[in-house]
């Protein structure tokens, strides 16, 4: 159904985004070197000796810089004939297998966009939400099935349009082909002037990479709007009899808050997208300031821009979405991890009410923290002080949620199933991502850390080792419900251990690089400043090799995912012995989701209830509600 379609599409985009960043990592670690199979093999084999040699220098680099610093010349490219990379990515982008900076920028913009808007949000929100939420609240279907389908189509074609921008041909002169090159944030005025819209006619301007990015974003935003309306209406209207608000599983709460974030935070970005498209196509000056000079020519005189706009306006509109977006990425996964932990700890979730309140506070506060991405824009110290305060306050509900999960684990006889491995790994890895964000909440450290690899490390820890780890757990957890078969435990372990290890190998060195001042955008990974950066430059190669192995570590998962659908072990409708409603229906669920009328009698996590014959007390099993004894009714 639609949930499964979303799952497969978003996993495909996840893989695509990952492959793009692997290409980029080649250029970062080995700038101007041709990408060939032989080169990859030689780099991997010679890597370990290099790491040992350089380790000492890294430590030294933290304590001082050389005074006789000179810019280092990058080695000139030595293109090779007829490489596979040139064949795959065209001679324009990778002549002789050597990556061009403009292609690197395209990949960078697309990696970010695809990962955020086309992979992780649809995976956590649309895929799991569509499949699990109606089941968990006892609904026959989503509230507006046709809107749901429209939402998927808009998402899919938005994604196709996004990818298609790579294929836009350039003519070498007026039009520069290829995808957008201004990063996933598309900050103006660079984004307005890039993929040169300069001399173009209006119509041609529509067919440039950046314009495709903007139009595709409008489709994706419309898709998420329809999806979020549907989710909220489903949760409010279609709960089964007895499914009161506080009997809803935490996953449903998390999805509800996520839906509200998408509903209310996305439209300002749609507005920003429309305005930027106007700037590119109709040459308005929403984001074009007075006195802008581009390639030594005043923009107003050469292109007819009136000026008088504000690039800061775009940043405000963008981050008004951009920060709630972070919670859109995180919350569904936290919800899923909560389900997995309750199931495998065989205990009620500690402080469920606190968690529900926290997730709402988190959702609300996420609307008032956006300008902490903009400390360096010169918006003023008073504004910065406000956003520092709100940013620190938002850590309270986040920590409350994680603490509640940790306390749930305390003293539990934990079953370390494969989903539980991922869920338990999620907590510390997400914790690293969160705690490294604290210095970034204050404007003083940001003066130094802004746009360094430290920031890259921070948000990748939140999203990759954090959210994606949790999402893997959720896939292993709900796979039996969707297919009636279990994914192989052995392959699950083969997937889990290397993945967790390598994710840390990829992202941990970035903190070190960032604290040494390495800037995030260079296609050569800052090679010119190698001496200034001390030994940390070498970590690029370590990261790249680790990322390559991380890709290999996903092969067991991909194989497992498809193999188990046909040949996996057949399991009962409730293989994990869960209490929530989705396990009370055949696997896969039939049309209408349930085969019998649903009546809910108690809360979602009644595990190990004293006096009950089994250690789980399903929500639908007729009988008493253990919570009543706290209300004096029992």
Q: Which one, 99 or 226, has the nearer CB to another protein?
A: 226
Element (H, E) at 230: helix 209-237
| Cα–Cα dist 346/475, whole Å | 20
Nearest to 473 by CA among 74, 128, 60, 72: 128
Candidate ranges 21-29, 222-230, 351-359, 446-454; the one touching another protein (CB under 8 A): 222-230
Using CB under 8 A, pick the residue from 19, 59, 84, 236 that binds another protein: 236
Question: Contacting another protein (CB under 8 A), which of 15, 32, 90, 141?
Answer: 141
Instruction: Please give the DSSP secondary-structure letter assigned to residue 123.
Output: I
Question: What b-and-e string marks burial along 172-201, b requiring 16 or more CB atoms within 10 Å of the CB?
Answer: eeebbbbbbbbbbebbbbebbbbbbbbebe
Name which of 101 and 145 has its Cβ closer to another protein: 145
Indicate the helix (H) or strand (E) that contains 569. Answer: strand 569-570
Mask: binding to another protein, 589-608, rule CB under 8 A, as x and -? --xx----------------
Gap between the Cα atoms of 253 and 260, Å rounded? 11
Return the closest-CA partner of residue 437 out of 327, 317, 526: 327
Minimum CB separation of residue 264 from another protein in Å reads 5
Which of 75, 145, 169, 380 is in the footprint of another protein by CB under 8 A?
145
Single out the residue of 284, 377, 599, 608 in contact with another protein (rule: CB under 8 A).
284
Name the residue nearer to another protein (CB basis): 78 or 146: 146
203 binds another protein (CB under 8 A): no
| Site for another protein contains 357 (CB under 8 A) | no
- Residue 539 or 583: the one with the smaller Cβ distance to another protein is 583
What is the pairing mode between strands 297-298 and 293-294? antiparallel
Identify the residue among 39, 168, 190, 263 touching another protein (CB under 8 A).
263
State the residue for tokens 């067919």: 207
Q: Does 380 bind another protein (CB under 8 A)?
A: no
Residue from 109, 138, 208, 270 binding another protein (CB under 8 A): 270
Q: Which residue has the tokens 């940001």?
A: 446
Q: Are 148 and 130 in contact (CB under 8 A)?
A: yes
Q: Using the rule CB under 8 A, which residue among 56, 66, 101, 140 binds another protein?
A: 140
179 by DSSP, 3-state: which?
A: coil
CB of 258 to another protein, least distance (A): 14
Residues in the interface with another protein (CB under 8 A) total 59
Q: Is there binding between residue 275 and another protein (CB under 8 A)?
A: yes
Closest approach of another protein to the CB of residue 232, in Å: 6
Task: Spell out the residues 6+ positions from residue 45 whose beta carbon is closer than 8 angstroms to its own.
Answer: none
Which of 185, 310, 403, 608 is in the footprint of another protein by CB under 8 A?
A: 310
CB 111 within 8 A of CB 14: no
**Residue 302 binds to another protein (criterion: CB under 8 A):** no
Instruction: Considering only residues 446 through 485, tell me which ones interact with another protein, judged by CB under 8 A.
Output: 482-483
Distance CA 53, CA 107 (A): 32
**Residues paired with 297 in a beta bridge:** 294
Using CB atoms within 10 A of its CB, is residue 222 exposed (0-12), middle (13-18) or buried (19+)? Answer: middle
**Residue selected from 94, 193, 197, 225 as contacting another protein according to rule CB under 8 A:** 225
**Binding positions for another protein, rule: CB under 8 A:** 1, 4, 139-141, 143-147, 149, 225, 228-230, 232-233, 236-238, 263-272, 274-275, 278, 282-286, 290-291, 300-301, 304-310, 312-313, 316-317, 320, 482-483, 588, 591-592
């Amino acid at each position: 159904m639609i949930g499964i379609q979303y799952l497969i599409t978003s996993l495909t985009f996840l893989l695509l985004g990952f492959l793009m960043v692997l290409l980029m990592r080649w250029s970062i670690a080995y700038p101007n070197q041709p990408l060939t199979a032989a080169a990859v093999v030689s780099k991997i084999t010679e890597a370990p000796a290099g790491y040992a040699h350089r380790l000492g220098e890294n430590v030294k680099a933290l304590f001082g810089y050389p005074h006789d610093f000179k810019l280092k010349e990058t080695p000139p490219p030595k293109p090779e004939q007829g490489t596979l990379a040139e064949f795959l990515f065209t001679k324009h982008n990778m002549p002789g297998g050597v990556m061009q900076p403009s292609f690197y920028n395209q990949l960078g913009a697309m990696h970010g966009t695809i990962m955020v808007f086309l992979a992780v949000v649809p995976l956590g929100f649309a895929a799991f939400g569509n499949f699990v939420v109606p089941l968990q609240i006892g609904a026959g279907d989503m509230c507006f099935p046709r809107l749901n389908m429209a939402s998927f189509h808009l998402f899919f074609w938005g994604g196709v349009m996004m990818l298609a921008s790579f294929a836009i041909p350039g003519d070498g002169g007026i039009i520069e082909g290829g995808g957008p090159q201004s990063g996933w944030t598309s900050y103006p005025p660079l984004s307005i002037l890039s993929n040169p819209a300069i001399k173009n006619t209006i119509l041609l301007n529509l067919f440039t990479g950046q314009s495709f990015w903007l139009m595709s974003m409008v489709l994706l935003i419309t898709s998420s709007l329809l999806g979020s309306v549907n989710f909220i209406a489903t949760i409010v209207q279609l709960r089964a009899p007895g499914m009161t608000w506080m009997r809803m599983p935490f996953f449903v709460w998390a999805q509800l808050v996520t839906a509200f974030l998408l509903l209310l935070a996305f439209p300002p970005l749609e507005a920003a997208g429309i305005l930027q498209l106007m700037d590119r196509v109709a040459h308005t000056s929403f984001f074009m300031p007075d006195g802008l000079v581009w390639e030594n020519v005043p923009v107003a005189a050469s292109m007819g821009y009136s000026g008088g706009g504000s690039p800061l306006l775009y940043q405000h509109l963008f981050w008004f979405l951009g920060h709630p977006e972070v919670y859109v990425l995180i919350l569904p996964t936290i919800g899923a991890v909560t389900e997995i932990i309750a199931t495998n700890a065989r205990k009620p979730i500690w402080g469920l009410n606190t968690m529900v309140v926290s997730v709402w506070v988190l959702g609300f506060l996420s609307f008032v923290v956006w300008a902490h991405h903009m400390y360096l824009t010169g918006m003023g110290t008073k504004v910065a002080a406000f956003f520092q305060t709100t940013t620190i306050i938002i850590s309270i509900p986040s920590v409350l949620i994680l603490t509640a999960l940790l306390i749930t684990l305390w003293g539990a006889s934990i079953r370390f199933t494969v989903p539980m491995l991922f869920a338990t790994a999620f907590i510390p890895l997400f914790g690293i991502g969160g705690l490294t964000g604290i210095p970034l909440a204050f404007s003083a450290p940001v003066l130094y850390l802004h746009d360094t690899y430290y920031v890259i490390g921070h948000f990748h820890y939140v999203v990759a080792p954090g959210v994606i780890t949790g999402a893997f757990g959720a896939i292993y957890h709900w796979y039996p419900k969707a297919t009636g078969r279990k994914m192989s435990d052995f392959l699950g372990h083969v997937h889990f251990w290397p993945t967790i290890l390598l994710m840390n190998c990829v992202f941990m060195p970035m903190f070190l690089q960032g604290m040494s001042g390495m800037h995030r955008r260079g296609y050569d990974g800052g090679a010119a400043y190698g001496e200034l950066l001390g030994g940390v430059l070498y970590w690029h190669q370590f990261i790249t090799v680790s990322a390559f192995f991380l890709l290999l570590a996903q092969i067991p998962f991909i194989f497992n995912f498809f193999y188990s659908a046909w040949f996996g072990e057949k399991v009962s409708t409730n293989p994990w012995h869960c209490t929530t409603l989705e396990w009370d229906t055949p696997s896969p669920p039939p049309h209408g989701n349930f085969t019998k009328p649903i009546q809910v009698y108690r809360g979602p996590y009644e595990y190990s209830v004293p006096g009950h014959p089994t250690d789980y007390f399903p929500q639908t099993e007729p009988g008493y509600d253990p919570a009543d004894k706290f209300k004096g009714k029992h």
